[in-house]
Amino acid sequence: MGKKIKQIAIYGKGGIGKSTTTSNLSAALAEMGLKVMQFGCDPKSDSTNTLRKGKFIPTVLDTLREQSAVKARDVIYEGFSGIYCVEAGGPAPGVGCAGRGIITAVELFKQQRVFQELDLDVVIFDVLGDVVCGGFAVPIREGIAEHVFTVSSSDFMSIYASNNLFKGIIKYSNAGGALLGGVIANSMGPPYSREIIDDFVAKTGTAVMEYIPRSISVTQSELQGKTTIEALPQSAQAEIYRSLARKIAAHQTSKAPAPLEVSALREWAGLWADRLLALEQGKVSEGDAI
Ligand SMILES: Nc1ncnc2c1ncn2[C@@H]1O[C@H](COP(=O)(O)OP(=O)(O)OP(=O)(O)O)[C@@H](O)[C@H]1O
Ligand SMILES: [Mg+2]
């Protein structure tokens, strides 16, 4: 009984654009008429503020500290276009496991069957890092999220974080964990960024969901405390987020990625470094096959 709720998790290196991309994705899905919850899993609790005019919301952990019995509804706040916003929160920096907020919040929501009660279509977990510790693995480990997407630029550290996430997915997949939906390529623009990401996904048996350019419209919107979908709905950037949302809404089958061993990944990065250097020194010219 009841419809199937699409539960997805977005991972990626720190500062790569997870929350920006997730919030625009939520906004675009809500525009399509879907009931969406965005679940921030970062102790910084800054996932959902561009859905709420730049305002931060009390976290699940903060609320639990203040009152012993918390109803899930007490920690859900309405954002742009009726999006349900939640921030799991975390301990004070340096105290305890940063993943504790996710574990606690997910447990609370499960017990109270919140996703079903709200009749949600999509739940998006915006998760910090690359499965660094137990708590952050929860969305992919416990059969909560079904599909994982990673946000990556063409920078090596970001690709490295995605490759680590792929390893995490493989580790949990046998036990019924989430599988990979694909890579969201963010901040595209520098020469060869698209080729580098394309090469990485080809080598790891995955696919790019969308290429999102680096755009000043994202900065302008953020400074207004809004997503680009809300602040600049007619912009080309908003259209790209809508395209991503349509693909994710239609996405059915995720699969196990094929992560590279660290030595192979370094070798791969070294080959790209050589190619880009040769290009810069004019040994090959733009447009040549490299
Ligand atoms: N496509 C883009 N064009 C321009 N700026 C962008 C783009 N994507 C993200 N940014 C900017 O990069 C910064 C970091 O983005 P964001 O907070 O979404 O990253 P994050 O991965 O969620 O970071 P954290 O790991 O700290 O949670 C923000 O200032 C955001 O506006
Ligand atoms: Mg974030």
The closest of 117, 122, 123 to 88, measured between CA atoms, is 123
| Residue 61 · residue 8 · CB < 8 Å | no
Domain co-membership, 124 together with 255: yes
pLDDT at residue number 139: 81
For the chain, what is the radius of gyration of the CA atoms? 19
**Based on the domain organization, do 268 and 237 belong to the same domain?**
no
Q: Are residues 276 and 156 in the same domain?
A: no
What's the pLDDT at 284?
A: 64
**238, part of any domain:** yes
CA distance 20 to 7: 18
14 and 151 fall within a common domain: yes
* 267 and 170 assigned to the same domain: no
Alpha carbon separation from 71 to 46, 59, 60, 84, 163 (Å, rounded): 22, 13, 10, 15, 38
Q: Which two structure tokens, joined as six digits, stand for 206?
A: 């995955």
Given this model, what pLDDT does residue 143 score?
74
- The answer to whether 60 touches 48, Cβ cutoff 8 Å, is no
pLDDT at 133: 64
Domain extent at residue 167: 6-259
Where residue 119 sits, what CATH number does that domain have?
3.40.50.300
Residue 13 forms part of a structural domain: yes
| Catalytic annotation, pick one of 6, 13, 126, 226 | 13
- 143 and 273 both lie in a single domain: no
CA angle 43, 78, 219 (to 5 degrees): 65
Same domain for 20 and 141? yes
- pLDDT at residue number 131: 61
Are 81 and 233 spatial neighbours (Cβ–Cβ below 8 Å)?
no
- Is 3 an active-site residue? no
**Probe ligand 1: pick from 158, 184, 218, max atoms within 8 Å of CB?**
218
Q: What is the pLDDT of residue 91?
A: 76
Q: Is residue 1 a part of any domain in this protein? A: no
Are 247 and 280 part of one and the same domain? no
Total number of domains in the chain = 2
Residue 252 falls inside a structural domain: yes
The reply to whether 202 and 225 lie within a common domain is yes
The Å distance, Cα 216 to ligand 2 centre, comes to: 18
Cα angle 217, 248, 127; round to 5: 75
Q: Which of 114, 185, 184, 164 is nearest to 144 (CA)?
A: 114
Could you tell me if 43 and 104 lie in one domain?
yes
Same domain? For 143 and 280 the reply is no
Which of 42, 121, 126, 130 is labelled catalytic?
130
Measured N-to-C along each axis, helices 262-280 and 193-203 cross at an angle, to the nearest 10 degrees, of 150
Q: Is residue 187 part of a domain?
A: yes
> 113 CA to middle of ligand 2, Å?
26
Torsions phi, psi of 255, nearest 5?
A: -140, 170
* Chain centroid offset of residue 54 CA: 19
Residue 288 domain flag: yes
Residue 196 lies in a domain: yes
pLDDT of residue 174: 78
Q: Select from 66, 50, 27 the least CA-distant residue to 58.
A: 66
Verify that 170 and 33 share a domain, yes or no.
yes
Residue 16 falls inside a structural domain = yes
Among the listed residues 18, 42, 121, 126, the single catalytic one is: 18
Per-residue pLDDT of the chain (290 residues), as tens digits, is 467 899 999 999 999 999 999 999 999 999 999 999 999 988 889 999 999 999 999 999 899 888 878 899 999 999 999 999 999 988 776 667 767 788 888 889 989 999 999 999 999 999 987 665 667 788 888 778 899 999 999 999 999 999 999 998 998 887 778 899 999 999 988 778 999 999 999 999 999 999 999 999 999 999 999 999 999 999 999 999 999 999 999 999 999 999 999 999 999 999 999 998 888 887 666 555 54
CA 135 to chain centroid: 16
The answer to whether 119 and 31 have CB atoms below 8 angstroms apart is no
